[in-house]
Structure 1
């Protein structure tokens, strides 16, 4: 008898029950970026706990996380509370902490995205990207970027050549980064993985000529449908950087051409090198 090997993402969000509404987690070193664990991975860990608390409504529909302190690799705890259980939606909160220090606080509404099969009316259009084979893979990223972002090794990320001038010291200044995305070990996307994808690309401030870590303050993700298997198209953009903070809007499109997730986060702009 063989034991199925879980994907790196499934291992990264794995939880062990530790009492009513409590779960033990282990944050891995492979999900670090800059000075802490990636915010999308943390949101997926907390989101996983809430999906376990609401088995009748397994999928996040709207989830917001406030990042209170930087998470580090190692043991963590997630505490959940169900606020409301309805017929089609449930709402709950989650707190992720380490060593008694709160790292992330989440408020989310859950449902069953498999039932979201109604009419779609949208003026949104997917990003126009060159074919996957014509885009720039992580293996071409500057070594200093890889050294600061171990999580990039977990991704098969192919960026649009028009949005990677910053890697050559020639940022376009548009505040736009887009590309193709899938997990490096071949795991297909699902709603929890979309929480990671919403924070997976390099910060759009790179395209503004501002390299460096951009810590997330708040991240909200709206999930519109379950993604079909295959590559995802992801676009990150910003329109306003002021007083050391910027918003980053994200759209995630699946292989069928459907908009499956939208997000907005507020982040702190990278600090100039000393």
Structure 2
């Protein structure tokens, strides 16, 4: 059965014999019938025992791009209902509204649980448009983070043993380097500011596009580590991304911060800047703090 492609029209989705990157391969979908896709959730994008929420958001975002008449996510919000596991899944999409410049729809991911019952894992609502048609006019007070050159930053995969909890297979797929000023937590010296900054790219060289930007805001170590909380899973409750522009080629700079941890929950605000110093995406998520 053909695979869905975010770039192809509803009747033009054909599975390529090879994908250019692991990200494309692992977010590939097979169209079963209009609005229904088969997915194979990869365990290669896992943190501890959980499949990464940004990867899953990108997978559902691809399904929605294959359903709506507009190609690019402008705003996408995912609610994580139950823990997604590696393996088969079904994604169902629906169209809420289509217009000349924007269209809105929803996508939900379902898996069969250990009792043979279909369980909804994620529900996503998104509005799509065409980023190539946006005006070049920009008025902003936001400024890109000041980072050392990538070669002076710390590869996430080089964290000392024990600094990052559990199995982190996702790190093999990322070329992420952190600002040395935000890695004290890896040495047992968290700053308490709740900040993580760094460079981000995909390890296999695939350039970032609007779909991949849905991954980026949830791909770096959580700010909870810099707050001095015990290492462990920081499960996302809700994750929203605003894509503001098509990113220029090359790695992006990511700045993530948390200003409020209360009642065992925290927010993470991320800004993503491209090589042309443009703010290409913003995200916010609500997550549960690690339980000590």
**Alignment: residue pair count:** 270
Q: Which residue of 2 aligns with 1:74?
A: 87
CA offsets 1:92-128 (integer angstroms, 9 cap, x no match): 0000111111110011100011112330000000000
CA RMSD of aligned residues (A): 1.3
Q: CA deviation at 1:227?
A: 0.4
CA–CA separation in structure 2 for the residues paired with 1:222 and 1:153: 26
Indicate the larger mover: 157-166 or 56-65. 56-65
3-state SS of the aligned residue for 1:152? helix
CA–CA separation in structure 1 for the residues paired with 2:158 and 2:28: 31
Q: Which residue of 1 aligns with 2:12?
A: none
Q: CA deviation at 1:139?
A: 3.2
1:158-237 → structure 2 map (5 Å cutoff) = 158-210=177-229, 211-237=231-257
CA–CA separation in structure 2 for the residues paired with 1:139 and 1:34: 14
Q: CA deviation at 1:146?
A: 6.8
Q: Determine if contact 2:192/2:228 at 8 Å carries over to the other structure.
A: yes
Unaligned runs of 5+ in 1: none
3-state SS of the aligned residue for 1:143? coil
Q: Determine if contact 2:102/2:128 at 8 Å carries over to the other structure.
A: yes
Q: Determine if contact 2:60/2:107 at 8 Å carries over to the other structure.
A: yes
Q: CA deviation at 1:268?
A: 0.1
Q: Determine if contact 1:90/1:110 at 8 Å carries over to the other structure.
A: yes
Q: Determine if contact 2:46/2:169 at 8 Å carries over to the other structure.
A: yes
3-state SS of the aligned residue for 1:125? coil
Alignment partner of 1:116 out of 134, 148, 165: 134
Q: Which residue of 2 aligns with 1:39?
A: 53
Q: Determine if contact 1:59/1:111 at 8 Å carries over to the other structure.
A: yes
**TM-score, scaled relative to structure 2:** 0.90
- Higher helix share goes to which structure? 1
CA–CA separation in structure 2 for the residues paired with 1:263 and 1:139: 24
Indicate the larger mover: 233-242 or 33-42. 33-42
Unaligned runs of 5+ in 2: 1-15, 113-117
Q: Determine if contact 1:7/1:187 at 8 Å carries over to the other structure.
A: yes
Q: CA deviation at 1:270?
A: 0.5
CA offsets 1:40-63 (integer angstroms, 9 cap, x no match): 001001000000012x31111011
Say whether residues 1:12 and 2:21 are aligned partners: no
CA–CA separation in structure 1 for the residues paired with 2:151 and 2:73: 32
Indicate the larger mover: 136-145 or 117-126. 136-145
Alignment partner of 2:277 out of 232, 236, 257: 257
Alignment partner of 1:89 out of 81, 87, 102: 102
**TM-score, scaled relative to structure 1:** 0.96
CA–CA separation in structure 2 for the residues paired with 1:5 and 1:87: 32
